[in-house]
Every structure is written in structure tokens, then in C-alpha cells.
Structure 1
């Protein structure tokens, strides 16, 4: 049997390793980057990420003129490190992920087929890697979002209810049931925004209070993360969120208050916050308007 040529490709991604791995191995992400040109897309993807698990990515020209399934079987999977698989024509592929100081390096090696030139195949596979890079890095960029709600209650009352420990738990349950905070809403103080996991271990965000004027405004700046009770303020995972702000403004007029929320989030969670923040604010509105 003729030995197939091995083609090696590399790409550097400025994103946390967990995000890179998730983008590479999750069907919801794969459909957004797995194509070599803008004339093509990947409308469907399914995979079972384990040794012996199968995958199938449907590749199609946007004009409907061509389509095929890129499919095969995983041979070995080491989370956050390496994936080996073979295609349905028997060719082997391996992908390695390595965390560097300020980026993740991906090295991909594949056996070339004989019906197209090696250079053409190299260009096509590299183009997909570049799409992956652009897409994944976009998920780690901060986006500033704005939300507001009008509440039939005085600003000072809304301020106190929004930040009081018990009622804070109620309206933030929209994000994560059981959410709470530790610390004081005073300038210079450290706050811990916590969402306990199934085992009750504390994980969440660490922030510093930068603004606090009762009845008018409160704001925080993210410093790091709380990982199972351990404060982490350095590393690739932290750089993504560090410096993000969250701010609540309270504007009173005719005994009603408009709460204006400004929040920074990475692209990965943008759609989630756009859906969930309005729900949380409606819960807050109900609490404030029914509290006497």
C-alpha cells in the first residue's frame, strides 16, 4: 500500500484553552467555523467525543450546487490536549492543543488524499483553521450590553432591594439558582459573586467595587475568578474577563425608578445574557413593586 503524504498545519489562538477546546469539540460551535470559504457552510454537525465515537459534519455550498459529509471515527481523545481520528476513507488525522504563555497553539496533521494536489489540500485545511481562529477569538472578546427596566418604587428602595442579600438571591436565580454574593457594596471592597455547584463548592467571579452611591449608582470591576473556593487572579482564563465592568444606575422620576444596567461579557455568553438579564430585571421589578 502506498504511503500517504502527511501534511502538518499550525495556528495560534488568543483565547483560553477551555474555550479553544469547546469550540473545536462542540457541535453548536463547529457549524460556525467548519468551512474553507465564504461560499460554503456547515449547516449540521454531530459527534460523540470518545474513543470509538463517530462524527459527521455536513459541508455544503451555499448555492446548493454541492454537498458532502465529512465523517469518521475518533480513535483517542485526551481532553484539552489531543484528538486522533480517522476519516471514512481510512486517512488518519491528529490534532494537538498546547497552552502557551498568551495563546493556545494547535498543531494538526492529516494524511493527504490522491485526487487533489497536496498544496490545494493544505490551503483548504489551513483556511478552516483560520476560520476557527477568527470565530474562537471572537468568543473571548468583551461586549458591552445595556438593559433597563422601569419599577414603580422609589430609587432608594429599589437600590436596597436589589442589593440586599435575600432579595439578591431571588432575582439572580434567573442566572443560576442559589446565586449569592459575599462582601460589602462599598468603594474599594472586594465582592465574590458565587454560584455553587451540585456539590456546594463555591465558584464564580471576584470583583472590586468602584462606584457606590446609595439610591443612584453602584459599579464593580472584575478581578478574577473563584474556582471551587480558590481565588484566581492570573492566567489565560482570567485575562479574558479581567477589567470587565458591571454597573447599575437608578434614575427616579415621579416616584418611579428606571434601573439601567451596563455589563461586559465575552462573546460566548452574549446571547445568554441578552436573554437572561431582561428576565432577571422583571423578577426584580416584581419584588420591588410587591414589597411594602
Structure 2
């Protein structure tokens, strides 16, 4: 796979508007106590193994798949701007490796605009991930996030 310099061709972007103030949305994304309650598809329990929320800090979460094996998600934070942006490397073993997550928050008062970019190393890999159903997987996770926010206002 050749690496494309055109970031737009390597990025899958998902947008949501959460009916919650930015402070709550940010807390749900940055506090491991909250992350464990909504991260991942419905029906899968998430265990936060490590969560160092700082530039250079690492994170690692596991979820048990129906076949009994662990699905491991992990990465390293490279940029954090409080209430605005989080950037991290990310591996979702065994499905996706070597991507970057760029999470952008925009304060709209009682609601929060949210942009979630998954940046792949190549255009080909991006297309492959799209065909595998990345929108459905993350969509289910964001649905859990929405419910979690509603329950914790």
C-alpha cells in the first residue's frame, strides 16, 4: 500500500451533534470511569487497562468478543486541546491497525458538535475499512455514547 499525501482521501469522517454540554461530552471521552460505560458495540463490556490522558500518554481497552477472544484497542495521544481536540494513534486488533483518530469538539451551549476522523495510512486501506463496515461499528458506539450522555445529564 502506498501512502497518499491527500489526507481527505485517507480519512473517514463521522459527525454527530450530542444533546449535552461540551463539559459532559469531554468528560465522557477523557475519564476512564465513563469510557468503560459506553465504548464499543452494544452488548460488549469494555475494560480500561490503561489510560494516561496526556500528550505521549498511552491508552488500552479490551472487550471480549462473542468467540471469547479479547478485542484490543490501544494508542498514544499526540495532541490534546481541552474541550476542542484529541488526536491519537490507534490500533483495533485484530481488525484495524496504524490509523490516527482525530476527535474535534465544538461547544454550542446545550449541545456539542462532534467530528470523528479516522485517518488511514493509505487510500486503499481507507476504502477497505469502509467496505468492512467502519460506519456501522463506530455508529453503534456513538449510539451508546448518546444514551450514556442522556443518562448522565
TM range (shorter): 0.7 to 0.9
Match of 2:53?
49
Residues 1-292 of structure 1 aligned to structure 2 (within 5 Å): 1-3=2-4, 5-38=10-43, 40-61=44-65, 63=66, 65-88=68-91, 89-112=97-120, 113=125, 117-119=129-131, 120-140=133-153
Q: In 2, distance between residues paired with 1:114 and 1:6? A: 7
Distance 1:133 1:58 in 2: 21
Q: After superposition, what is the alpha-carbon deviation per residue over 1:246-274, rounded to whole angstroms, capped at 9, x for unaligned?
A: xxxxxxxxxxxxxxxxxxxxxxxxxxxxx
Query: Could you tell me the TM-score, scaled by structure 1's length?
Result: 0.44
Alignment partners' CA distance in 2, 1:8 and 1:66:
29
* Cα distance change of structure 1 residues 50 and 115 upon mapping to structure 2, 3 Å threshold: same
Aligned length: 138
The alignment partner of 1:50 has SS state of coil
Shift of 1:71: 0.3
Structure of greater Rg: 1
CA RMSD of aligned residues (A): 2.1
The equivalent of 2:94 in structure 1 is none
1:131 Cα deviation from its structure 2 partner: 0.9
TM-superposed CA distance for 1:66, in Å, is 2.6
Equivalent pair of 1:43/1:60 in contact (CA under 8 Å) = no
* Structure 2 equivalent of residue 258 of structure 1: none
Gaps in structure 2 of 5+ consecutive residues: 92-96
Instruction: Select the structure with the greater relative contact order (CA < 8 A; seq sep ≥ 6).
Output: 2
For 1:115 and 1:67, how far apart are their aligned partners in 2? 25
Q: Which SS does the other structure have where 1:102 is aligned?
A: coil
